Structure 1
């Protein structure tokens, strides 16, 4: 999306109008962003080795999160703290009020790609072929999930108690589960307390680049470099449907009102009816890879980022039904990591 671009098309020549606000300050490309649950703050993670916390009203940078020794790959806002991970092999926890680093989580031996906070735990995934579980308060590593043959790019979490009452996974009732997607073309489901892999989902012919859970529907959606989205039954690990229409890798997924949206390197977003697997709409207005989709508060306000070639600023677009990001740096690192697969 170029600086002058408007909202995503609806399949016709009609374009949605957007309001644009420019935030600048980073000295390198924007690798990731996260909007706080209340919509008041935006976290940006940059190639310059820092993360910044912004107030969405007033365009003000309220905290510079500085301390990583290499570029920051991903971030997450949770209550009054921020989490970031980096190519320096660490995860950091930050006080949003002061910008001070509260903990450094050490243990990974390669680039950390993702962080996830769930059920009072912090999870991370890395190119070192592992995912790890940490205590957010003490910084202590609680569990290591080892079994993938290549890097872990995607994370998801669910609790058995969130599923239907008669659901049991591998003969157990209750418990927390971590889902990991890897460049080895597999998805693994792990029991968090003991780190045991209870399911390995096979079927993709390319790296797993993104995942999404529909816990009430007991369904896991996975997007891959093989140009497909696949649907899996969480109870059995069975592949239930393959969604095929994209001409490029699937980078991001979003699930709203029984519709699944997928963004791809083919520069399109597709809308699928999950029940039938039918592609009901294709959005074609993007000029670059679509790497993030985000819905915010139903249908009113959504957030997107478009990274410019000078890699020094980005735009926040509001009041768009679907907004996408063109984060070419993320794809560059992804393709580089896949060269050895």
Structure 2
């Protein structure tokens, strides 16, 4: 049973390992970030490299592809914005003092996390830091954003969520919920006994799931900070999470 499958396309121009992949919203382009310090745009139709994105001075840690722009971050402490048609670097975001781990473009905002123990919000147009989120005791690995419209039924927190909430996970074993408007820490989610490696939000709503080196997944209410439940069947670190709508009545979310 089973048998082998065959590759439909092979994209083989990088000279180092590939750290991240990002598919365009229309599915026609693929962005790859590599240990070789470059990112590449590929056509998913024929596997051909459409553009080589060069400029980072160290390896690319993460990338995100939008309709009109590509974003990459690197161990060189910078984030770059690229034109997806020409491959030209449009903007360099400088401010982090250590490796930038993750970036997130959402709601016309750019968010980033770093080994420098901070997360930051940037003006995409100006390339400047708009807000700094400082409070973690160790490196910030992962992040997620909840827009105001994804936080229904929270009248008591209306001011706090006016520009949405940013959730960050750190090797200090905590996740933190930040008010984007003020930069203040809204909640600290404590319970993990190891580094928080991944997190995902169930939207619309205000539930976050975090995965850790302590082999557990935990569910949280990001408005109140309450821990809702703990999933404890894994035998090793939880490195990736995804939330999907469930098919079963009465179970609105399925955690994979």
The TM-score with structure 2 as length reference comes to 0.92
CA apart distance, 1:128 = 0.3
**What is aligned with 2:19?**
31
Say if 2:173 is the partner of 1:196. no
Say if 2:37 is the partner of 1:54. no
CA apart distance, 1:200 = 0.3
Q: How does 1:217-236 map to 2 (within 5 A)?
A: 217-236=205-224
For residues 83 and 71 of structure 2, what CA distance do their matches in structure 1 show?
A: 9
Say how many residue pairs are matched: 255
**What is aligned with 2:99?**
111
CA apart distance, 1:167 = 4.4
CA apart distance, 1:32 = 0.5
CA apart distance, 1:135 = 0.8
Q: How does 1:115-130 map to 2 (within 5 A)?
A: 115-130=103-118
Does the C-alpha gap of structure 1 residues 96 and 38 become closer, same or farther in structure 2, counting only changes over 3 Å?
same
CA apart distance, 1:164 = 1.7
Matched residue of 2:149: which SS?
A: helix
For residues 188 and 15 of structure 1, what CA distance do their matches in structure 2 show?
A: 45
Higher RCO (Cα < 8 Å, 6 or more apart): 1
Instruction: Decide which of 76, 80, 94 is 2:68's aligned counterpart.
Output: 80
Identify unmatched segments of 5+ residues in structure 2. none
Identify unmatched segments of 5+ residues in structure 1. 1-12, 260-273, 280-292, 294-341
Say if 2:155 is the partner of 1:176. no
The TM-score with structure 1 as length reference comes to 0.70
CA apart distance, 1:234 = 2.2
Does the C-alpha gap of structure 1 residues 172 and 71 become closer, same or farther in structure 2, counting only changes over 3 Å?
closer
For residues 192 and 204 of structure 2, what CA distance do their matches in structure 1 show?
A: 24
For residues 110 and 35 of structure 2, what CA distance do their matches in structure 1 show?
A: 23
Q: Which moved more, 1:189-198 or 1:44-53?
A: 189-198
